Amino acid sequence: MTAAVTLRAAGTEAVRVAHRIEKRRIALPSLTLILAWLVIAVVVVWAVAPWWLAPSGPYDPVSGGLTGPSAAHPFGTDQVGRDQLARVIFGARESLLGAGIAVTIGLGLGVLLGAISGSVGGVVDTTIMRIVDVLLAVPGLLLALTLVALLGTGTINTAIAVGIGSIAGFARLVRSEVVTVRETEYVEAAYSSGGSFFTVLFRHILPNSLLPVLALFALQFGGAILALSTLGFLGYGVQPPDPEWGMIIAQGRNLLSSAPWVTAFPGLVILLVVLSSNRISQSLGVRR
């Protein structure tokens, strides 16, 4: 009996030690996550202050046309001798501005519709979700092209078109989270203690429903960059000579065999930004 009690006590103490070690352990971010944040930070600096890092202006010829990558021009030059790195850096402003507007529209309207649908329920829930289903049934690029045809070209109009296409994803996610949270015990306790509908919604339900939305926000940001670049490639975004990533790639599409760097480096930048956004979204989703 004494031996059994001793073993039980030793096991309990071992569990306590393990818990203390677990609490003291510092969760360090992975290398890929650090690199993802670094890529986003660099691109944001490009967008905020491009003249600090760009080797020249985005419109100024610096050498002969179609000069390959070199120490002076790491991304080479385009057909008229403009530095491609400078144009990519200055193009970050238009791309990030458009993506920011798009995801803000999707987030704001999506959270509003999802919160109303999930908290009210009934006919309101059914009506909003049917509208969301219709938006989800239409391919995003097709919807964006249709809206751009109605609104016109330009960064703001393309951003609005892409943002409207992202509303459905946010609304569906928020509605799902609100429905789950509103059935928890602390929400029922808040209602029992005399809390009004809007007080409980904004103080208890929404704050506990928005963590997954942050992951979707990061994911949609990368998707918006890709969608805006696609529209820019098709000629619906910024018009020449102003730089924008998709438009820069479009200008070099006929030079793939003779000057591949004209499209390769802007495409690589878009790829890195989209992958970085996806990695950050994954990390936020894991913490949920």
Supply the pLDDT for residue 116: 87
Minimal CA–CA distance to 105: which of 153, 165, 147? 165
> DSSP E strands: which ranges in 31-96?
none
Cβ neighbours of 91 (radius 10 Å): 27
Its pTM stands at 0.81
Taking the CA atoms of 207, 209, 211 and 215 in sequence, report the sign of the dihedral they define: negative
Regions of the chain with pLDDT less than 50: 1, 3-11, 13-15, 17-18, 21-25, 286-288
Supply the pLDDT for residue 122: 86
Supply the pLDDT for residue 27: 56
Per DSSP, the three-state class of 77 is strand
Domains of the chain: 31-53+76-286 (1.10.3720.10)
Residues 6+ apart with CB under 8 A from 171: 109, 110, 111, 113, 114, 117, 128, 132
- Which two three-digit tokens encode residue 113? 């519709």
pLDDT tens per residue across span 90-138: 999 999 999 999 999 999 999 989 988 888 888 998 999 999 998 888 8
Supply the pLDDT for residue 11: 46
Residue 258 CA to residue 253 CA, distance in Å, equals 11
